[in-house]
Amino acid sequence: MAPTSELAAAFEAVLRDRADAPLLIAPSEGRTCTAHDLHDAAGALATTLRAAGLTRGHLIVAGLGNIVALPALVLACLREGWPLMPADRSMPLAELRALAGRWDAAALVVPGSAHETSDEAPASTSTWASARSIETGGITILLHDPMPEPGRHAPAAVLKLTSGTTGAPRATCSEERHLIADVRHITDVMRIGPSTRQLGAIPLSHSYGFGNLLLPLLWQGSPLLLRPQFVPTQIVPDLQAWGLDTFAGVPFMFDHLARHRRLPPLPSLRLVLSAGARLPFEIVEAFHAATGCKIRSFYGSSETGGICFDDTPTVDPRVPVGRPMGATAIALVDDDDAPPGSGRVRVSGPNVIERYAVPMDGAGDEADSRGPLTNGAFLTSDYARRDDDGLFVLTGRAASFVNVAGRKVVPQEVEAILLSLPGVAEAVALAVEDPVRGQALGACLVSAQTWDARSVRQALAMRLAPYKLPRVVVVVDALPLTDRGKVDRRAIERLLAGR
């Protein structure tokens, strides 16, 4: 079948020129896939899904993680015109079902067999039910019955889950032209070419991994070594054994490696990249001292893809995020709450989406679909300054999300589920310091029932991904209030810190 997208056509060019070139190295699966293998896997998935009743415009939710099946599914979706929502593999099946129901998905794809995926929360917690399942190639496809009407999210190619600023996560309406603008910026500015070998230890389902690792693979055949998760003892052997050029990570990875591993020089490593959270200079300094490699800050968002990249040669105590990439432009908007000399970051360019996807519970809500997106620009929740040398430095954030090892958690989402627990009348979720993850989630509950961190995590384990589960829990008779009658969040922070 002829490619139906520019990205699919680009992969067809890779297939034509380098059919037997190894593109995906998956040690955990015991396999290496060539361009031809990936082409065949995508074709087999497309045939299965078409036979199951999917037509152009049907949404697929995928909780696959960093396995070969995910790039194959992305390629199949591009060819067939199925919008794809990549979701974190750590999400419990009940949470994935809730996503599929909220966004009107036709299919949900998960790893393993139907038997392995059958352990889930009671049906009352699930808003999406499947009547059929298909097992193929080590994955299970759950199908909605009846099939929803296709085309709800057109013209989106990918719906990226984003933390937003309040309430439940949003999903971007990322069209293929946005993805192409992003991958062009990334590959040009970072000098990632067809022969650049990348390490994939960050989730491909997140905007960072999708744009920096998965898209270059499809766009120009940049080889990728897949690891399902970050295992510190695997990183250096992978870099050395496979002669990898690029290591994209998040701050806690580099912090752990610098503090707990004896890192040798890594001569093949050309680009070390950090995104997803603030990068402290102490980590940059320690990693550079051990390996001779500078960690370069990369700044982006689900709504925009890549925004800035630090291409400067020196280790800089300011830890700048660099300059805008390609055709991306930044304006600093006046904000009363911004630190002195800073403004709120407003991003424009061909990589910026124009709207969010509208969920089933918000049909027709035009304001919600636009949010901070106006006139082709995205108003982020970040504060920054532009120094005299033209480099941007992040100085703070207006949003209230919690950053758990580079993964963003919206406290309001967790609070809504905490309120469903027996005896819980009120709930507040806040960030607490965590020596390993940087931040974790703490919860303050008003409850007639006894709860502690262990029992709360056990109660929520089937409904929330592990990184969203509270690590500290305090139960009080009443939430502390300020003199104005509002919840005293600083008092709650002190209560949680004391535990």
Same domain, 22 and 152: yes
Q: Which amino acid is located at 438 in the chain?
A: G
Domain that holds residue 469: 402-498
Least confident of 22-26, 253-257, 303-307: 253-257
Residue 136 has pLDDT above 90, yes or no: yes
* pLDDT tens sequence across 405-447: 888 888 888 998 999 999 999 999 999 988 877 889 999 999 9
In the chain, the number of structural domains is: 2
Query: Domain containing 464 — which CATH number?
Result: 3.30.300.30
Whether residues 330 and 475 share a domain: the answer is: no
Q: Do 275 and 184 sit in the same domain of this protein? A: yes
Asked if residue 417 and residue 389 are part of one domain, the reply reads no
Model confidence band, residue 178 (pLDDT cutoffs 50, 70, 90): very high
Structure-model confidence comparison of residues 260 and 195, the more confident one: 195
Q: Check pLDDT > 70 for residue 59.
A: yes
Residue 314, pLDDT > 90, answer yes
Residue 1 scores a pLDDT above 70: no
Q: What percentage of the chain carries pLDDT values higher than 90?
A: 76
CB 141 within 8 A of CB 52: yes
Q: Is pLDDT above 80 for 168?
A: no
Share of the chain above pLDDT 70, in %: 93
pLDDT of residue 113: 79
Which residue in 39, 13, 34, 15 sits closest to 24, CA to CA? Answer: 34
pLDDT in tens, 72-112: 999 999 999 999 999 999 899 999 999 999 999 999 999 99
Facing residues of 433 across strands? 439
Q: Tokens 């992305």 belong to which residue?
A: 74
Bond from prior residue into 155 cis (ω within 30 degrees of 0): yes
Say what the pLDDT of residue 232 is: 92
Q: Which of 399, 429, 449 is the last residue of a domain?
A: 399
Q: At what angle do helices 6-17 and 69-80 cross, to 10 degrees?
A: 120
The stretch 181-199 carries a mean pLDDT of 98
443 and 390 part of one domain: no
Q: For the segment 363-391, what is each residue's pLDDT rounded down to a tens digit? A: 445 556 777 999 999 999 999 999 999 99
Distance CA 251, CA 374 (A): 31
Q: What is the pLDDT of residue 118?
A: 57
**At residue 496, does pLDDT exceed 50?**
yes
> Are 177 and 221 in the same domain?
yes
**Do residues 227 and 180 touch, judged by C-beta distance below 8 A?**
no
Query: In this structure, how many other beta carbons lie within 10 angstroms of the beta carbon of residue 243?
Result: 11
pLDDT at 124: 40
Cα 42 from Cα 491, distance rounded (Å): 53
* 293 and 370 part of one domain: yes
Phi, then psi, of 246 in degrees rounded to 5: -130, 135
Tell me the Ramachandran region of residue 436: left when phi exceeds 0, alpha when psi lies from -120 to 50, beta otherwise: alpha
Q: Indicate the Cα dihedral angle 342, 347, 348, 350, nearest 10°.
A: 150
**164 and 303 part of one domain:** yes
* Domain final position from 384, 399, 414: 399
Please identify, among 332, 364, 399, the residue that sits at the C-terminal boundary of a domain.
Answer: 399
CB atoms under 10 Å from CB of 163, counted, come to 21
Residues 411 and 383 in one domain: no
Q: What is the mean pLDDT of residues 318-345?
A: 95
- How many Cα neighbours within 13 Å face the side chain of 193? 3
- When pLDDT is averaged across residues 269-278 and rounded to a whole number, the result is 93
How far is 69 from 33, CA to CA, in rounded Å?
11
Average pLDDT, integer, range 261-290 = 90
Instruction: Sort 362 into a burial class: Cβ within 10 Å, 0-12 / 13-18 / 19+.
Output: middle
Q: Domain check: are 265 and 372 in the same one?
A: yes
Confidence of residue 127 (pLDDT cuts 50, 70, 90): low
Q: Is 106 left (phi over 0), alpha (psi -120 to 50) or beta?
A: alpha
Contact 347, 377 (CB under 8 A): yes
Instruction: Evaluate if residue 123 carries a pLDDT over 70.
Output: no
Please give the mean pLDDT across all residues of the chain.
91
Helix H, strand E, coil C: the string for the chain is CCCCCHHHHHHHHHHHHCCCCEEEEEHHHCEEEEHHHHHHHHHHHHHHHHHCCCCCCCCEEECCCCCCHHHHHHHHHHHHCCCEEECCCCCCHHHHHHHHHHCCCCEEEEECCCCCCCCCCCHHHCCCCEEEEEEECCEEEEEECCCCCCCCCCCCCECCEECCCCCCCEEECECHHHHHHHHHHHHHHCCCCCCCCEEECCCCCCHHHHHHHHHHHHHHCCCEEECCCCCHHHHHHHHHHHCCCEEEECHHHHHHHHHHCCCCCCCCCCEEEECCCCCCHHHHHHHHHHHCCCEEEEEEECCCEEEEECCCCCCCCCCCCEEECCCCEEEEECCCCCCCCCEEEEEECCCCCCCECCCHHHCCCHHHHHCCEECCEEEEEEEEEECCCCCEEEEEECCCCEEECCEEECHHHHHHHHCCCCCEEEEEEEEEEECCCEEEEEEEEEECCCCCHHHHHHHHCCCCCHHHCCCEEEEECCCCECCCCCECHHHHHHHHHHC
Per-residue model confidence as pLDDT tens digits over 389-415: 999 999 988 867 888 888 888 888 899
Report how far residue 208's alpha carbon sits from residue 185's, in angstroms, rounded to the nearest whole number.
13
Please report the pLDDT score of residue 165 as a whole number: 43
| 306, 250: one domain | yes
343 and 423 in one domain? no
**What's the start-to-end Cα distance of the chain, in Å?**
60
Give the CATH number, domain containing residue 54.
3.40.50.12780
